[in-house]
Structure 1
Amino acid sequence: MTTARETHHPIAEPTDVEMQLDSTFGVDPNPGTHTVIDRVLEVLCAALLAAITLILFANAVMRFAFNSPLGWTEELVTGMMLWLTMLGFTLGVRRRESIEIRAFVGRLPVRIQTWLKLGTDLLTAAVLLHLAWFAYLYVTKFGGDPSPYLRLPKGFFIAALPIGATVAALIVLFQLPGCRAAILRQLDEEKS
């Protein structure tokens, strides 16, 4: 006689599906573990956020204490926010921490959930690559224009968009074998 635990399907619960999908290519489903890439992205994001905070604080002090604001801070902070946003987005994609609506999908059969996850990942990668392409075209057309205060090429800041979108798309594509493996496990279970 078999117990319920022995006959339990390896990816029967919605959380099990997520864990099976997330366990490939360094995406650990356990939130306490991080890879070197995660740490580097975290450090870069923290450094950018600290720099943005310090620059804005210095500008506020100069504006209100000495009545002499720093004109270039808005330009620099805006560019740094682009990089912070895209690096944070990439980190979120890597950890699969993006917003999902699970109320509907969680009620579907596991096989359909798995196929939906695969389709969603393919669509996400396609949209990100589309964004990366048009952002690349924008950078090549306008990236050489100098910024008004800093006189840096605008491409230095705008390049965050195609780079971040491309890296995020690659991460999604590298996670696809996990979806494929979950589908194959599902099919093997159905055959036996």
Structure 2
Amino acid sequence: MKPDSRARVSRDGINNTAALRVLASVEDLLIAVLVFAIFCVVLAGILSRFVFHVSLSWNIEVSVTLMIWMTFIGIAVGVRDKVHVAFELFEDKLSGRWLMLASFVQMLLMGFLLVALAWGGWQFMQLGLNQLTPSGIPQWISFAAIPAGSALGLLHLLAHAWDLAIDVDLDSGTQRGHGHGHTETRAQ
């Protein structure tokens, strides 16, 4: 049975530290603020055009920038809550050391992707330092979302890897919990 993606993931191990709980709350609040800000900017554009018969020159660029930030923070939240793509087809057939190995391989591949995104995003941000959009918004603000969201995702991925590593029964070499892609809470 597939886990409910809306269910909150239990935060065991390092993910239950105060710093990561505060970070999770900040990320959730930031997503909510970004959604509300996009709503307000788009509504302002609609009202200005159809009520006041004036077209705003900045609302599309601002809403796109906010959407980019929401997307990359959302990627980090997806990694944090383990609702990202996982190879569950293989995980469901594995157990013990093979499940742990498959989980680490998935995390390693995702880590490479996040590092590549962070690096590429950093380079884009550097290119946009001296550039402005047509409405005068510094271009680096949009590009900064890529390394910021990727770094947050990488932080959450490292926390999950740490939790997976300490969740191994050292005597038998088997994992006590589920693989990385699973969000079910296990019985304590």
Does the alignment reach a TM-score above 0.5? yes
Tell me if structure 1 keeps the 8 A contact 2:86–2:106.
no
Task: Provide closer, same or farther for how the CA distance between residues 66 and 112 of structure 1 changes in structure 2, counting only shifts above 3 A.
Answer: same
Partner residue of 1:87?
73
**CA distance in structure 1 between the partners assigned to 2:118 and 2:33 by the alignment:** 25
When Rg is computed on C-alpha atoms for both structures, the one with the higher figure is 1
Tell me which residue corresponds to 1:110. Answer: 96
For 1:157, the equivalent position in structure 2 comes to: 142
The residue type equivalent to 2:144 in the other structure is A
Count of paired positions: 165
CA contact 2:97–2:173 (8 Å) conserved in 1: no
Matched, 1:180 2:169: no
| Offset at residue 190 of structure 1 (A) | 5.9
The residue that corresponds to 1:170 in the other structure is 155
- In structure 2, stretches of 5+ residues that fail to align are 4-9, 175-188
- From 19, 23, 29, the counterpart of 2:12: 23
Root mean square deviation of aligned Cα: 2.5
Structure 1 residue ranges, 4+ long, deviating more than 6 angstroms after superposition: none
Task: String of CA shifts for 1:90-140, please: whole Å, max 9, x gaps.
Answer: 122112221324233202233211110011112211221111111111111
Q: TM-score, normalised by structure 2?
A: 0.78
Listed as ranges, the gaps of 5+ residues in structure 1 are: 1-13, 16-20, 29-33
Going from structure 1 to structure 2, the CA distance change for 1:85 and 1:27 (only over 3 Å counts) comes to farther
1:100-139 correspondence runs (5 A): 100-139=86-125
Which residue does the alignment assign to 1:8? none
Once the two structures are superposed, residues 115-168 of structure 1 have per-residue CA deviations (whole angstroms, 9 ceiling, x without a partner) of 10011112211221111111111111223201111x121001210101111221
1:21-45 CA distance string (max 9 Å, x none)? 96231259xxxxx922211111111
What code does the residue aligned with 2:68 have? L
Aligned to 1:18: none
Q: Residue 70 of structure 1 aligns to a residue in which SS? A: coil
**Which one has a larger percent helix, Structure 1 or Structure 2?**
1
Read off the aligned partner of 2:158 and give its amino acid letter: L
Q: What is the Cα deviation at residue 175 of structure 1?
A: 2.3
CA distance in 1, matches of 2:160, 2:80: 9
What's the % identity of the aligned pairs?
Answer: 24
Query: Is the alpha carbon distance of 1:27 and 1:86 closer, same or farther for their aligned partners in structure 2, counting shifts above 3 Å?
Result: farther
Residue type of the partner of 1:112?
W
Contact 2:117 2:147 in 1 (8 A): yes
TM-score by length of 1: 0.76
Residues 41-81 of structure 1: per-residue CA shift (max 9 Å, x gap): 11111111001101111211221223212121000011111
